[in-house]
């Protein structure tokens, strides 16, 4: 082997491509695991102290179905299960003139969603074994813990939210082509496009009277394996 050829191989920026034909099939599948942090964007009737939303990390798990349009555009369906917990902390000002206990200032909202996003993935050109992308689309979710049809409300310590929700989603990520599979870390924002609040029966309820609407905002960190 000539000295020039050895030198070219050592110092070339081109690397050996893993799974060079991985993206060629029209259909491909995989699964993802990840974490989420959900928040609420709340609009108010009058100018009072905001309700504080305490957030905690939740879990995402699901499947991926990918339909390849061309080298740069894919359509993805990512049905999964999303578990999250949020806590609403009220100020004493919401209960002026109303007898209440300390526990009345806190409402915990636990949610288990069947989450179904339909996304369009816009990828850059593959560079060696990486391929950055952006993703956008819409999703629907069925909240199995919504309590929407529960006749009991906050007067019985039950905060109700809607069962069916719609969102738009925006995100970024990077495909990493490994020897045996493709690994994809991604970051995605999820934003509700509808009001999720179910008002209490009492129109003067201190928990819901001052809310005009309540919408989810979420952040997903997913790790996909294909």
CA distances, 174 to each of 19, 28, 36, 104 (Å): 16, 17, 18, 45
Alpha-helical segments (H) within the chain? 3-11
pLDDT class for 98, splitting at 50, 70, 90? confident
Architecture of domain 18-225: Beta Barrel (2.40)
Q: What is the mean pLDDT of the chain?
A: 90
In tens, the pLDDT along 142-195 reads 999 999 989 999 989 999 999 999 999 999 999 999 988 999 999 999 999 999
**pLDDT (average), residues 48-55:** 89
> What are 46's two structure tokens?
């009058």
**pLDDT (average), residues 95-108:** 87
Q: pLDDT at position 13, please?
A: 55
Rounded distance, CA 132 to CA 149, Å?
Answer: 44
Q: Which of 20-34, 41-55, 77-91, 146-160 has the highest mean pLDDT?
A: 77-91
Q: pLDDT at position 50, please?
A: 87
Residue 11 has pLDDT above 60, yes or no: no
Residue 46 has pLDDT above 60, yes or no: yes
């Amino acid at each position: 082997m000539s000295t020039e050829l050895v030198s070219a191989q050592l110092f070339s920026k081109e690397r050996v491509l893993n799974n060079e034909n991985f993206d060629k099939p029209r259909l491909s599948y995989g699964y993802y695991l990840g974490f989420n942090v959900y928040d609420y964007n709340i609009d108010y009737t009058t100018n009072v102290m905001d309700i504080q939303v305490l957030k905690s990390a939740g879990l995402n798990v699901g499947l991926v179905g990918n339909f390849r349009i061309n080298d740069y555009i894919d359509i993805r369906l990512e049905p999964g299960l999303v578990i999250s917990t949020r806590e609403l902390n009220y100020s004493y000002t919401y209960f002026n003139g109303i007898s209440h206990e300390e526990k009345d200032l806190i409402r915990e909202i636990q949610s288990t969603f069947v989450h179904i996003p339909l996304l369009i993935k816009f990828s850059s050109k593959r560079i060696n074994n990486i391929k950055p992308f952006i993703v956008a689309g819409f999703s629907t979710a069925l909240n199995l813990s919504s309590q929407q049809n529960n006749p009991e409300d906050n007067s019985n310590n039950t905060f109700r939210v809607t069962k069916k929700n719609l969102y738009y989603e925006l995100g970024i990520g990077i495909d990493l082509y490994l020897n045996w599979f493709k690994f994809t870390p991604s970051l995605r924002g999820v934003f509700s496009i509808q009001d999720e609040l179910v008002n209490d029966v009492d129109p003067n309820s201190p928990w819901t009277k001052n809310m005009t609407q309540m919408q989810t905002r979420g952040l997903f960190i997913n790790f996909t394996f294909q």
